[in-house]
Amino acid sequence: MSQYLVSGGVPICGKIRASGNKNAALPCIAAAILTDEQVILRNIPDIEDVQVMLDVYRSFGGSVERLDSNSYRLSLGNIKTSEVPSEAAKKIRASILFAGPLLARTGKAVLPPPGGDVIGRRRLDTHFLALTELGAAVSGKKAFIFSARKLEGADIFLDEASVTATENAVMAAVLAKGKTILTNAASEPHVQDLCRMLSSMGARIEGIGSNRLGITGVKKLSSCDYTIGADYMEVGSFIGLAAATRGELVIEGTGPEDIRPAKMAFGKLGIGWEHEGTTLRVPKRQAMKVNHDLGGMIPKIDDAPWPGFPPDLTSIIIVVATQVDGTVLVHEKMFESRMFFVDKLIGMGARIVLCDPHRAVISGPAKLAGSELTSPDVRAGMAMVIAAMAAEGSSVIRNVYQIERGYEKLVERLSSLGGRISRSE
């Protein structure tokens, strides 16, 4: 098992380029199944989750050609199987994203239960609801078996604004007969990326960026050459890293609109940044002081579906709050196990009261000390990296596979910014 060795107490300074959005790359790879023509995807992050998705694509008989470090040419003529390999499904929750395109292309999809981060109960009911509304039948116990003689457009109201369920529904609907109305749809930037990619292939999608999508089915999708947007979760993570270590950072290739919800939350901690075009600069001089609500009340940072504060940045902002003067309440409303990593921060010296699985009160600034840590999931793992870099002394972070599922060449990139971090087996 690999681990990181971190010596903290050094400000992160320099220039870095944002990676492509992992959460857009995964559904776009799945969407490549929808055509028998070639698909070129660019700005794909070089991370474990992407490689697993590409392996699944190959298992269907697909051809994958790497054009450069972040670009691929995909092509899939005749599909030799509609079953997702069980080992791949265990590794990554995004394996569920193959249900919609396989159904649309072959009328069948067999998916073992997906794996991924353990951050609480993550329902699949919404996927089943959307696909059955389009005409699919679902059966099976050890694996989910989806089948449909034909898919037909429907008026669908999702019972929750699930990102992956929205993406599955859209991918199934683009080749369904007639029109689909998808209400209470997720509208995150990665959902928008998928919809724009499909549109470039000839799909007819209205309302991109809203929670009401209109999809008129077409008979065939064609080739495309599509560039994925920047990973605003990674950008938010690096903003938090720069602030927590009292560093100065320039991040190139960012999406200003995508990071706006995070700017409001970081602003409550006295942290800001400047945007010029697609370049973002985190200045060294930050207030690093909690801005109270009206009447001197303790402020609250809570996550929500887009355009609310992204839940994937909750772990990051908790660590940053430990280095800020004042008290703040962080309310994680969407996943009941995401906050359980804070006991490790408390062991490092953080002053945190975990009120329940969803709420934590953080008082800072706290002097953190190096510790031995284990990454439970992608974002909590990155939060531990930030804590270790802000701490005095040395830390060991184990199970870094979980971190590298979402962050490209992390050790190499942080080292280029002055971070004292290395990777060992």
Region of residue 207 (phi > 0: left; psi between -120 and 50: alpha; otherwise: beta) = left
The residues, any chain, with a CB within 8 Å of residue 34's CB and separated by 6 or more, are 101, 104, 105, 171, 174, 175, 198, 201, 221
Query: Using N-to-C axis directions, what is the helix angle for 99-106 and 163-173, rounded to 10°?
Result: 10
**Pick from 248, 252, 259: which is nearest to 278 by CA?**
252
- The catalytic site residues sit at 117
- Measure the CA angle with vertex 259, ends 167 and 282; round to 5°: 150
CA dist 181 and 238 (Å) reads 38
CA dist 201 and 225 (Å) reads 9
- Measure the CA angle with vertex 380, ends 398 and 283; round to 5°: 110
- Per DSSP, the residues of 238-275 read HHHHHHHTT-EEEEES--TTTTHHHHHHHHTTT---EE
CB 352 within 8 A of CB 322: yes
The residues, any chain, with a CB within 8 Å of residue 259's CB and separated by 6 or more, are 232, 235, 236, 239, 280
The residues, any chain, with a CB within 8 Å of residue 377's CB and separated by 6 or more, are 117, 118, 119, 338, 402
Distance of alpha carbon 268 from its chain centroid, rounded? 23
The residues, any chain, with a CB within 8 Å of residue 2's CB and separated by 6 or more, are 400, 401, 423, 424, 425
- HSE value, Cβ hemisphere, 13 Å, CA-based, for 185: 30
- Per DSSP, the residues of 116-181 read ---SS----HHHHHHHHHTT-EEE-SSSEEEE-S--B--EEE-SS--HHHHHHHHHHHTTSBSEEE
Q: Return phi, psi of residue 328, to 5°.
A: -140, 150
CA dist 215 and 64 (Å) reads 29
Task: Dihedral sign for Cα 263, 41, 136, 113, please.
Answer: negative
Structure tokens at 216: 């008129």
